[in-house]
Structure 1
Amino acid sequence: MLSLKSISLGLLVAAFASNVAAIDVTRDPAKVAALKNAASQLDRLALLPDDSDWLFDFTEQKYYTFAPGGVINANAATFPAAVGNGQTMAILNLGPCSMLPMHYHPRASNFVVAVAGTTMTYMFEENGARVVTQTLTPGKMTIFPQASMHMMMNIGCENAQLVSALNSEDAGTMNFGNGIFADGFPADLVNAALGYQDLANNHTAAGIPAVGTGSVYGTKECLARCAARKRRNF
């Protein structure tokens, strides 16, 4: 049985090696701009005249996958009816051993409820604070305060699913690994900040994938355990 410390270290390594975070592209910029500039709620309603304007089907979105997983956001960018309501609703899909790597939301607190599976979560809010760890099974919830760094991993061999509510229609997501290693900070300064370890270099940056669905595969230990379990079941 691995200790919590070893699991946490494995998650950290996985997050550095394969950081990915979904980016929501605004689907109808003209409509969103008109909704934001509308003088009244009645004017906004006139811009959303059809019943279909008020329906968001998470299962029909391109990030709805469990291989390895995906973050599907209903917000101002993806669902114009959300404009003016100060809220994002999200479905988090995590396939077996999949994870959301270390990230934070600069403009929103995040309430996460488990619907299926077993998900380990980790949250670190600021210097001097401790890491808060939770095990979420169906019906259990945790909170990631605004701008707190957090990550989560499906530690089981079945799909996990969570519902996430954020108190902004434009919460934003910043991935730790991408921001530090792949997005332009001077490598010598990053290495100095990390105790002069040669972590920030072209090799590290090249190993961080482009933006994707929001989920990546987690620890090798979990993947091997679930692969062995699958072999035993056949």
Structure 2
Amino acid sequence: MSHISLFACLAIFISHTLAIDKTVNPELNAKLKLVATNLDRHNVLAKDGGWEFPGSVVNANAATFPALTGVGMMLAMLNLGPCAMFPPHLHPRATNLVVAVSGDTTSYMVGENGAKVITTKLTPGVMTIFPQGSLHMMANNGCGNAQLVSALNHEDTGTTNLFNSAFGNLPSEYLQATFGDYGFDIEHMGKNIPEVGTGSVPGSAECMKRCGLNGQKSGKIKRLVV
């Protein structure tokens, strides 16, 4: 597979709930928090053109879609390219419902220490739940695209990427102790973790090889946003 066709396949990798959203209209958010009635809210949104949301490339939440300010929910369309995954993360302020629209995706969720791993095969029409604060991830098992809809019961859910939060923030000597005396190069491991905000990342080596997406040095594959 050529680099051009490879990148074309990977072009459907998209930012979602793992991204760090920038507030597009802080003045409008402030106005909505101060209105006295729901009618005032409608008038403010009508005047500022706040009822339309431009699409699924970014999360629909209070930051990107001010009309959701105070509503207590957000929605995102998740598009996973072949073999792509959303790495382990959690939402500190929201429970997450995810329903598959297309493709073959597997989700993994750990509720807390001692709880069994919940594995769900997300095929079209199948839904799963990630309770607030639970650690979870999703991986596209196929060589085609997968699409899912994600709903969360907070307009500012927050996202904590497990490895991004640990590496580069916590003292390396304690991370080394956490992994045990197995000769891991903690500094090297941390440098290879994709940055927060890229959304999906390349998944398992087995899937990449099966789908003809291997061949990139050190597993580094260019991520493109549509």
Bin for the TM-score computed over the shorter chain: 0.7 to 0.9
CA–CA distance in structure 2, aligned partners of residues 162 and 74 of structure 1: 14
Question: How far is 1:104 from its partner?
Answer: 0.2
Q: 2:52 aligns with which of 51, 55, 73?
A: 55
Give the TM-score, by structure 2 length: 0.81
User: 1:24 aligned to 2:9?
Assistant: no
TM-score (norm 1): 0.79
Distance in 1 between the 2:196 and 2:31 partners? 29
Which residue of 155, 162, 165 maps to 2:141? 155
| Equivalent position SS for 1:134 | strand
- Aligned to 2:36, which of 39, 48, 54? 39
Partner residue, 1:121: 107
Task: Determine the C-alpha separation between the residues in 2 that align with 1:212 and 1:114.
Answer: 22
1:205 to 190, 193, 197: 190
- Provide the alpha-carbon RMSD of the alignment: 1.9
Residues 196 and 34 of structure 1, relative CA distance in 2, 3 Å threshold:
farther
Structure-to-structure mapping, 1:1-234, within 5 angstroms: 21-50=18-47, 52-59=49-56, 64=57, 72-182=58-168, 184-197=169-182, 199=184, 201-227=186-212
* Greater percentage in helix: 1
1: distance between equivalents of 2:194 and 2:209? Answer: 22
Identity, % of aligned positions = 54
Aligned-partner SS, 1:111: strand
Offset at 1:206? 1.7
Letter paired with 1:194: F
In structure 2, stretches of 5+ residues that fail to align are 1-16, 214-226
State the SS of the aligned residue for 2:212: helix
Q: 2: distance between equivalents of 1:80 and 1:21?
A: 19
CA distance in 2, matches of 1:201, 1:145: 31
User: Which structure 1 segments of 5+ residues have no match?
Assistant: 1-19, 65-71, 229-234
Count of residues in correspondence between the two structures: 197
